Amino acid sequence: MDKLKLGVIGCGGMEKVHESGLSELDNVKVVATADIIKERADRAAEIYGAEYAYTDFRDMLDKVDACLLVVPHHLHYGIGRECLEAGKHVLMEKPFCNTEEQCLELAHIAQSKGLTLMTAYCMRFNPMVLKLKEMLDSGEYGPCFQMSIWTEQLTRYPIDHWASLAATIGGGQLFSHGCHYIDLLLWFMGNPVKGTHTGTNFGTPWMEKEGTSNVSILFENGAIGYHFGTWGAHGSRLKYSIHAHCTGGMLEAALSEGKLYRHLPGKAPEVVFEYRMGKHTQYEVGHFADCIANGTKPITGVPESLQGLRVIWRLYNAEENDFVADLSGLGLTEPWDFVSSDPGDRRGF
Ligand SMILES: NC(=O)c1ccc[n+]([C@@H]2O[C@H](COP(=O)([O-])OP(=O)(O)OC[C@H]3O[C@@H](n4cnc5c(N)ncnc54)[C@H](O)[C@@H]3O)[C@@H](O)[C@H]2O)c1
C-alpha cells in the first residue's frame, strides 16, 4: 500500500502531541514539516525522519499529498486555502475556520477539486467516547435525557498570545476548546432546538473573551445537553468527564481517569471499560488517510465541522443580545451548505 505523503504545517504545542500518534501509523509518512520558527520545523522533521523542513509551508506543496495544519486559528483559512488550491487534501486542527464565510469557501474549493477536507476532532475517535456511544445506542439503558460534559483545566497563555485574543483565537474558550464538546453533544443527542451560553473571563483575566463557559442546549427529543468548560481551574476531580443520564441508569465517562462506569439503580458503580489516557490522534489521522485512499467521506468533514461552529456563533450572538439562541437547522445531518440568515453565523471577532 502506498503511504500518504503528509506535510505537517505548524510545529508548536499540539504538533508535539501528533508525533506519537503519527509514529503508530503504517499508511502515513511525514515527508515535510514547516514552521516560521526554523528550529521547530527542524526538530519535528528529525522526529518524523522527514526529508524536508521549511520556514514557508508553500515550499512543501510539491512534495506532499496532504497537509496537517497545526497553526493558530486565524491562519487556518489562509493556509488551508493555499493548500487546497495546490490540490492537497487538508486535515485541519480544530476549529475549522474563524468565520462561516471562510469555512464555506474552503468547503467549496475542496468540493470542486474532489479533495478531502476534515477537522481533527480527536474526541470523536477517542475509544471511550466511542464505547459510550455504542452503549447509549444499544438502548439497554433507555433514552438519555441529560448529557453533561465537563472540562476543567488550567490553561494560561500570555495576554498578547494568539490564544488569548478574541480576533485570533476566534472567540474564547468555548470556540477554541468547547468546539470538541459541542460537536460531541450534537453527535450524541441529535438535532438542537435552542440554547444559551454564559461566559466570563472572571478567573481567567488573560483571556480577552471568556475563559469559562456554561452552555445548555435543548434537543428535538426533549433531552438537554450541558457543557461546562474552564481554563481557570486550580483543581478538579471531574477534569474531563461525561455523564449520560438515561431513564434506566447513568453512564459516566471519566475521561481523565481512563474509566467508563455504569451506574444502575440499587447497584454499586461498575467499571465497564478502561483505556490508555491520551489524545489518540493516530485514529483521526488514520481515518483521514483511509478516506483519501478509499474516496469516502470523513466522519468529521465539512458538515460536522461547520454545524457545530454555527451553534457556537449563534450562542455567542444570543448571549450578547440577551436572547435564547435559535439552533434549529444545525444538526450534524441537516443541510449545511447555506449562507445563514442568522447574524450570529456571520460573526467574527
Ligand atoms: N485537538 C486538540 O486537542 C488540540 C489541543 C491543542 C491545540 N489544538 C489546535 O492546534 C492548533 C495549534 O495550536 P498550538 O497549541 O499547537 O499552538 P502553538 O502556538 O503552540 O503552535 C503553533 C505553531 O504554528 C507556527 N506558525 C505560525 N504561523 C505559521 C505559518 N505561517 N506557517 C507555519 N507555521 C506557523 C508557530 O510558530 C507555532 O510553532 C490550533 O488549531 C489549536 O486549536 C488542538
DSSP 238-283: SSEEEEEEETTEEEEEETTTTEEEEE-TTS--EEEEE---S--HHH
pLDDT of amino acid 345: 61
Sequential pLDDT tens for the chain (349 residues): 689 999 999 999 999 999 999 999 999 999 999 999 999 999 999 999 999 999 999 999 999 999 999 999 999 999 999 999 999 999 999 999 999 999 999 999 999 999 999 999 999 999 999 999 999 999 999 999 999 999 999 999 999 999 999 999 999 999 999 999 999 999 999 999 999 999 999 999 999 999 999 999 999 999 999 999 999 999 999 999 999 999 999 999 999 999 999 999 999 999 999 998 888 999 999 999 999 999 999 999 999 999 999 999 999 999 999 999 999 999 999 999 988 777 666 555 5
The answer to whether residue 141 is domain-embedded is yes
Coil, strand or helix at 31 = strand
Report how many domains make up the chain.
1
Contact 303, 45 (CB under 8 A): no
Any atom of ligand 1 within 6 Å of the Cβ of 122: yes
Give the distance from CA 172 to its chain's centroid: 14
pLDDT of amino acid 339: 85
The answer to whether residue 75 is domain-embedded is no
The answer to whether residue 157 is domain-embedded is yes
The answer to whether residue 318 is domain-embedded is yes
Question: CATH number, domain at 251?
Answer: 3.30.360.10
Any atom of ligand 1 within 6 Å of the Cβ of 58: no
- For residue 14, the ligand 1 atom closest to its alpha carbon is 16
Distance 68 CA to ligand 1 centre (A): 11
Q: What is the 3-state secondary structure (H, E, C) of 284-329?
A: HHHHHHHHHHHCCCCCCCHHHHHHHHHHHHHHHHHHHCCCCEECCC
- For residue 161, the ligand 1 atom closest to its alpha carbon is 19
Distance 10 CA to ligand 1 centre (A): 6
Any atom of ligand 1 within 6 Å of the Cβ of 242: no
The answer to whether residue 99 is domain-embedded is no
Output phi, psi for 186, to 5 deg: -65, -40
Cα distances from 245 to residues 136, 148, 189, 223, 228, in angstroms, run: 10, 8, 12, 10, 16
The answer to whether residue 60 is domain-embedded is no
Any atom of ligand 1 within 6 Å of the Cβ of 285: no
Task: Kindly write down the DSSP assignment for every residue of 128-152, as one continuous string.
Answer: HHHHHHHHHHT-TT--EEEEEEEEE
The answer to whether residue 69 is domain-embedded is no
pLDDT of amino acid 343: 64
The residue contributing the CA closest to ligand 1 atom 4 is 14
The answer to whether residue 50 is domain-embedded is no
pLDDT of amino acid 150: 98
Domain range holding 132?
122-349
Distance 75 CA to ligand 1 centre (A): 9
